[in-house]
Amino acid sequence: TRLLELATAYGEGKLEKTARAQLDSFIAETEKFRDELQLKMKQGRDRHLVLYSFIRVVAKTVFERVRAADADPLLKKILTDLFDHFGVRISEHEDGDVNLDANHAYVEGFPSIPRDGMLATYDRKRAIAREDIRFISADHPLVQDSIDLLVNSPSGTTSFCVLEADKPNLLLEAVFVLETVADAKWHVDQFLAPTPVRVLVDIHGQDLTENVLYSRLSADVEDAPLPRFLERPGFNGTLLKNLVEAANDRAKAHTLTLKKAARERAASVLTADLQRLVDLSKLNDNVRPEEIELAKKQVLQVRTAIEAARLRLDSLRLIVEGVEID
């Protein structure tokens, strides 16, 4: 604004000598400010920071992981199954583009899909060439929103199955989620993201989690009518409560290992970052004391959040072994 006023006054010939002097003074001030800024930038530049801010081997690994994620067909399969589950209509074009229509979905206002639908692609190059097509990657909000919609749904959290076996037994498979509660700015999920904890116990209180894998169990069990089983004598609410408590105790024991590993990762990374800032502050005045204090606070907040992480029961599967239920 000041430059415009001075230039206008000089151009219109108003007090020519005075206007010229004011304009020259402003130019001199600008040159002085530029020289001071360049000096600050030169003094503030840390050669070691410049050299080590880019590590070719690490960068190459990141690039390869991004390319592998783009080429992985699993994301498309998972999303297609999720859309089908929630009634989102999918129209796939010959060039691989997909049109998503959530107007007839089983949930009102499907997240991340506009009312008039969405044209999307899983091909990064295709999305770059066409600005009107959304690129769906694992980082797209649609992916996380769809998964959250499924995870937070009250349906599908319990089931009843039978399993062929020589001896009768009653199993309870429980899936807990170990999660932290902390402000997002501390990035606690970097060290302890919401982690599923699977536990399998039997009626005798034995922990069979390591003996029977989830994939093998899911392949062998068959759905059965729960009302028929409840009609049989011997099963009651107390028995189920005891099974759940036993599973909860096993899950708590397992979380000790998870928390310890998370604490060690956080301490290693955050302490190194803090020490780096302290070292840089001795060489570079641009590293403010507030940054160091914030780094110290992050170390404390992350450790506290990991220690306070809690288990949430997510799903249950009751399995009857060695008994026929018609």
Residue 91, strand partner residues = 99
Q: How many residues does this entry show for the chain?
A: 326
Task: Tell me which residue of 221, 218, 209 sits closest to 161, measured CA to CA.
Answer: 221
- List the one residue out of 148, 198, 147 whose CA is nearest residue 316: 198
Q: 145 is written with which tokens?
A: 């929103």
Give CA 214 to chain center in angstroms. 24
Of residues 86 and 12, more confidence is placed in 86
Torsion of CA 236, 242, 248, 250, to 10 degrees: -130
| Domain at 59-151, CATH from 3.40.50.1000, 3.30.360.80, 3.40.50.460, 3.90.400.10 | 3.30.360.80
Question: Where along the chain do its domains lie?
Answer: 2-44, 59-151, 158-321
Across the chain, mean pLDDT equals 86
Quote the tokens at residue 273: 């970052």
What's the pTM? 0.68
- Count Cβ atoms below 10 Å from residue 280 Cβ, excluding itself: 16
How confident is the model over 194-251, as pLDDT tens digits? 999 999 999 988 888 888 777 777 888 888 888 888 877 778 888 889 999 999 999 9
Please, are residues 95 and 113 in contact by the beta-carbon 8 Å criterion? no
Please identify which residue in the block is written with the tokens 């206007």: 19
pLDDT tens per residue across span 287-317: 788 888 999 999 999 999 999 999 999 999 9
